Structure 1
Amino acid sequence: MSIVKYTVIGGGINGLAVARQLLIDHPDAEVTLFEKESSVAQHQTSHNSGVVHAGLYYAKGSLKAKLCRRGVHLVKEYCEANDLPYDQCGKLVVALTEVEVERLKRLYQIALDNEVPDVCMLYGDEIKKVEPNCIGIAALHSPTTAIVSYEAIAKQIAKDILEKGGKIQLSAEVKELKNNADGIQIIMKDGSVYPETFNYAVSCAGLQSDRLAKNSGDEANPKIVPFFGQYFVLDDQFTNDVKGLIYPVPDPKYPFLGVHFTKRIDGKMTIGPNAFLSLGRENYTGKNFNFKDITDYLVYPGFWRFSFRNIPAAIRESKTVLSQQTFIDECVKYVPSLSKMTVKPATRGIRAQAMNQDGSLVDDFVIRKDGNITHIRNAPSPGATSSMAIAEYIVREVMQTVEAKATVDANDSGIEMVVQGS
């Protein structure tokens, strides 16, 4: 019996989780992961808030709702098994107006629908029992929301892959995957052909997911449009004024959550992020720009449709980009005791936001199959929380369908299905 060969493209937490899951479920298979950087977890995995989301925002029946809840369990279990830090610090979503209270009640129902454990509504002074310095009319309390280091988790998964006999090819940027009669061919960035072929491939290319998918014969849409999120770290003397996570109630007029307090696994407290158009998919310093990346979204019709519909949001977010004090003021609304706080900039994160041609943002996870190639086309927050559950889902459900189909018609290389939640 011939050995089945799998390849995974992308060494972020999703790609690593998929490679690990393949080795768990198919221990006799060969698994090779390609990562374009000199080490794993160099992009979204190491540039995020570190929050293990409990499932407060995601519509019942969506992939986000299903895989987030499963992902929480798997991340916690993995951290415990590998002695990695996991701080169940809890989260408050705080309403400051009666309008926000009504929105908060809808969030509470979503949390109940998703079976988020121990969530409850708090009113008035009840909020101070959780966060003594926080004010608000009402709050949704999620005591099981946690924080971790996804970079540390990803690097541990990389070790697991090597220990299980998998291969990780670093500094190896893949440009294209080709479905050929004799297997899947890997075309590298320099145009060279990797000497091995593979039976199955999973593309987890994050910020470059649309480009790799399109180069490999998949549809051009959705398009990745990069948005940066700036964080600031509170100076140490202000850190203890907030115990855990404090978020605003999402405003349906705006596409992103808004500035909030987030505790880090190292004990530091941060405020952020804002959300504004990035001048590059990997522009973490904010000092550079990438002409190709900028041109890519400027010539995309969906970007302009999105922009015209979201001018108020752009104005709101631009204020926090241009003024650090405005950024701080947004947070002080929830914790007035921090009105004199001082902060330092932290590294930016870049969100790989998938956008449709009509200008709408793709809300749910999108996993698309093209022959024996599976593409993760959209995995924003809670993508890191859900990473191990996404891996299970791809390996045990999506790829099983591919493999069953392949045994019936090995020559069919057309797009077979799109998997996404409602």
Structure 2
Amino acid sequence: MALTKFSPIFKRSLKTNPIKSCISFLTNGNIYDLAIVGGGIVGLATAREIKIRFPHLNLVVLEKEKDLSRHQSGHNSGVIHAGIYYPPGSLKAKLCVEGLRLSYIYADEKKIPYRKCGKLIVAVEEHEIPKLDDLISRATINKVPGIQMVSADEIPQIEPHCRGLRAIYSPETGIIDWRQVALSYAKDFESAGGVIYTDFQADHFTEVMNADFPISIRRKIDNSSSNIPEVTCKYVIACAGLQSDVVAMKTGCSKHPKIVPFRGDYLLLKEEKCHLIKGNIYPVPDPRFPFLGVHFTPRIDGSVWLGPNAILSFKREGYGKFDISPKDTLDFLFYPGLLKIAWRFFGIGMKEIYRSIFLSNQVKLLQKYVPELQVSDVTRGPSGVRAQALSPQGNLVDDFVFDHGDGPVGKRVLNVRNAPSPAATSSLSIARMIVDRASEEYGLSSQK
């Protein structure tokens, strides 16, 4: 699938600058105070935040792909979430509401295009109304700005082509290109003196006999064009997304929770039908799942995406229906938690697969919200893969998770183990929390 388009001013941040890499190697021998593993939106936001607070520290971001933000940060709905869904007191609730405010401030400061188009969460069945009441109670406790309940008659005033029994309206929900935001974080980081190495897959984390810089991170030996085989550092923050459990285990951390990839396929509304949708239209979510259901999402480029569904992917970073990695598949198929959840939700999983195959079935679901929609109005669109953490008991982990490992390396590594949606919206607030924790645990100082 083609990557989300981005502004040419950010292209410089996508690849390792060979001159800068050479200068970095000559001046510090690839020795750093702290290495951030993962060049997605959370890793880049964290690197930026550390550099802002501790400008004297030598920092490096290690990204395994040739470009930054290739996966979840570049394959998502592009929604700026307001914090409606998340249990009060959870990290998601706190960090999303804070992240909403910070995201708009940052986008204004950097002149990154966005649109506050709002969101409707629409009940189309009577049994969904109590769930809608629960959601607005959560949103009120979470202090989501501007949230309100609207009647069936008021829904068309907000979305002329939408129908429902009742809906929650969130005027502060918006849309943005999150990859463009991530690349802007990278630009900030590099401008402040940070170093980014792409094409560097961190594969071995070992202790070395250096009291000041005791961790060696070696790159995976493959056909990579990277000329940087190793970096040495004091501390590591791993924000590895779909590879977070793999990286965590390599640093001496627990194998739990396991990352299970779920592919989501989108439909595209044909250009002549995009007038049907003004803002985000979401269903009332099933509380058993962390997925928000098939929804209507306008994009910054003027297109409208419908979806996604949620289907088990047989490759961590496989965006095609037939992308299979035997290694990835065996890795999670024999995980006890997956067998338990597969048995529990077998029927729902089969419905998702059926809808992904038959376009008319997917459109039938969408017609509950926009009756005018026809099969002829849509085409198949892009796909994304979501990293979903799963416990050994077969429970979907529904909050952000961070942990440390044991031993000489593990105790110096902070792992972001689960950061699904709304991680993009929350990226700046997550970064602040990570840096607060790293500052306390690692004794980082604002002075040399």
TM over 0.5: yes
Identify the range of structure 1 (136-145 vs 73-82) with the bigger mean alpha-carbon deviation.
73-82
Q: What is the aligned counterpart of 2:73 among 38, 45, 58?
A: 45
How far apart are the structure 1 equivalents of 2:68 and 2:230?
23
Counterpart in the other structure of 1:188: 219
Match of 2:144 among 95, 98, 116: 116
Change (3 A) 1:199 1:359: same
Task: Return the match for 1:91 from 92, 99, 119.
Answer: 119
Alpha-carbon offset, residue 179 of structure 1 = 4.7
- RMSD, matched Cα: 1.9
Structure 1 residue 383 corresponds to structure 2 residue 423:
yes
Cα distance in 2 for residues equivalent to 1:96 and 1:354: 30
Q: List per-residue Cα deviations over 1:383-407 (Å, max 9, x = no partner).
A: 11111111110002x112312499x
**Residues 245, 261 of structure 1: 8 Å contact kept:** yes
1:405–1:181: structure 2 CA closer, same or farther, 3 Å change rule? farther
Report SS of the residue matched to 2:168.
strand
- Which residue identity does 2:195 align to in structure 1? K
Q: Is the 8 A contact 2:262 2:386 kept in 1?
A: yes
Q: In the aligned structure 2, how far is the partner of 1:340 from the partner of 1:46?
A: 27
Q: Report what 1:155 is aligned to.
A: 183
Q: Is 1:14 the counterpart of 2:11 in the alignment?
A: no
Q: Which SS does the other structure have where 1:122 is aligned?
A: strand
Matched to 1:376, the amino acid is: V
How many Å separate the matches in 1 of 2:364 and 2:209? 60
Aligned residue type for 1:335: V
Assess if the C-alpha contact under 8 Å between 2:219 and 2:230 holds in 1. no
The offset of 1:193, in angstroms, is 9.1
State the partner residue of 1:66.
Answer: 94
Displacement of 1:343: 1.7
Query: 5 Å matches for 1:15-34?
Result: 15-34=43-62
Q: Which letter does structure 2 place at the counterpart of 1:51?
A: V
Asked if the contact 2:75–2:385 (Cα under 8 Å) also holds between the matched residues in 1, the reply is yes
The letter for the 2-side match of 1:343 is V
Flag the 1:87–1:104 CA change in 2: closer, same or farther, 3 A.
same
Gap regions ≥5 residues in structure 2: 1-27, 406-410
Give the Cα–Cα distance (whole angstroms) in 2 for the partners of residues 237 and 405 of structure 1.
Answer: 55
Cα deviation for residue 199 of structure 1 reads: 1.3
Cα distance in 1, alignment partners of residues 203 and 80 from structure 2: 32
Secondary structure at the aligned position of 1:400 is classed as helix
8 A Cα contact 1:372 1:402, kept in partner: no
Sequence identity percentage: 42
How far 1:254 sits from its partner (Å)? 4.7
Task: Give the alignment's TM-score, normalised by structure 2.
Answer: 0.87
Structure 1 contact 234–341 (Cα < 8 Å) conserved: no
Separation in 2 of the partners of 1:109 and 1:151? 32
Instruction: Give the structure 2 partner of residue 402 of structure 1.
Output: 441
Instruction: Please state whether the residue corresponding to 1:347 is helix, strand or coil.
Output: strand
Partner of 2:261, secondary structure, is: strand
Give me the whole-angstrom Cα distance separating, in 2, the residues matched to 1:42 and 1:4: 25
Q: Which deviates more from structure 2 when the two are superposed, residues 127-136 or residues 311-320?
A: 311-320
Aligned residue among 85, 108, 115 for 1:80: 108
* Cα offsets for 1:59-118 (capped at 9, x unmatched): 111110111111111111111111101111000000012210110000000110111111
* Secondary structure, counterpart of 1:125 in structure 2: coil
Residue aligning to 1:327 = 362
Moved over 4 A (4+): 191-195
Q: Deviations over 1:314-334 (max 9, x none)?
A: 122122111111111111110
How much does 1:267 deviate?
Answer: 1.3
Corresponding position of 1:250: 285
Q: Residue 104 of structure 1 aligns with which residue? A: 132
TM-score (norm 1): 0.92
For 1:205-244, list aligned pairs within 5 A. Answer: 205-244=240-279
State whether residues 363 and 375 of structure 2, in contact with CA within 8 Å, keep that contact through their aligned partners in structure 1. Answer: no
Alpha-carbon distance, 1:194 to partner = 4.8
- Compared CA separation, residues 310 and 255, structure 1 to 2 (3 A): farther
Counterpart code for 2:365: E
CA contact (8 A) 2:73 2:179 kept: yes
Q: Is the 8 A contact 2:438 2:444 kept in 1?
A: no
Q: Distance in 2 between matches of 1:384 and 1:152?
A: 11
